[in-house]
């Protein structure tokens, strides 16, 4: 399988699930979409990543994904610096937001094209300024959409509860992915064994 993503979290999720032969080939695309709907934008970007990499690997299963955090109909991306991480975490404090992960699975030679997304609702605890600063000092916010990682050291102080799949917030909704494969008549064993 080709993972069209440099995300170490996606690699970890897939490896832990039993997919052993994963080659990482990040898509070199501009991650923008002309779609109006936010979810359609995320799906569009995930598909573009997969299509780009599949051009070079037509006989391989190419899995691509894109994860965003949405608050007040705005996409919160990865922070550029500590100040932006602080502003993002402050805006999430005490509030509920959505995490959307879109993905595609493409195998050009077999005519396989699966595209979907999953949504998880996350409620943050009310955070103090010192808690936010402590979390930023861990370095965790810097490469993550929404400036946080659910699987990391700070999750215990950040998150009150989630509704939906944990792995979706981490970066790849493995349960939804497996269900979608079944709907398309693709056995997960076929992908694991490749």
Domains of the chain: 2-192 (3.90.950.10)
DSSP letters, 32-70, are ----SSHHHHHHHHHHHHHHHHHTT-TTS-EEEEEEEEE
Extract the tokens encoding 167: 């792995």
Model confidence pLDDT, tens digit, residues 67-104: 999 999 999 988 999 999 999 999 999 999 999 999 99
Model confidence pLDDT, tens digit, residues 120-159: 999 999 999 999 999 999 999 998 889 999 988 877 789 9
Question: Looking at the annotation, which residues are catalytic?
Answer: 66
């Amino acid at each position: 399988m080709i993972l069209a993503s440099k995300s170490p979290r996606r690699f970890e999720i897939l490896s832990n699930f039993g997919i052993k032969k994963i080659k990482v080939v990040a898509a070199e695309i501009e991650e923008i979409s002309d779609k109006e709907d936010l979810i359609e934008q995320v799906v569009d970007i995930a598909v573009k990543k997969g299509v780009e990499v599949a051009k070079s690997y037509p006989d391989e299963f190419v899995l691509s994904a894109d994860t965003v955090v949405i608050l007040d109909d705005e996409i919160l991306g990865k922070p550029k610096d500590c100040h932006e991480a602080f502003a993002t975490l402050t805006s999430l404090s005490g509030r509920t937001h959505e995490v959307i992960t879109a993905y595609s699975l493409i195998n050009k030679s077999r005519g396989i094209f699966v595209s979907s997304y999953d949504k998880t609702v996350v409620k943050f605890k009310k955070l103090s300024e010192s808690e936010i600063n402590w979390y930023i000092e861990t370095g965790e916010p810097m490469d993550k959409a929404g400036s946080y990682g659910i699987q990391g050291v700070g999750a215990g102080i950040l998150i009150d509860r989630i509704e939906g799949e944990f792995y979706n917030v981490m970066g790849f909704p493995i349960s939804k992915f497996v269900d979608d494969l079944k709907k398309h008549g693709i056995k997960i064993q076929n992908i694991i064994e490749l």
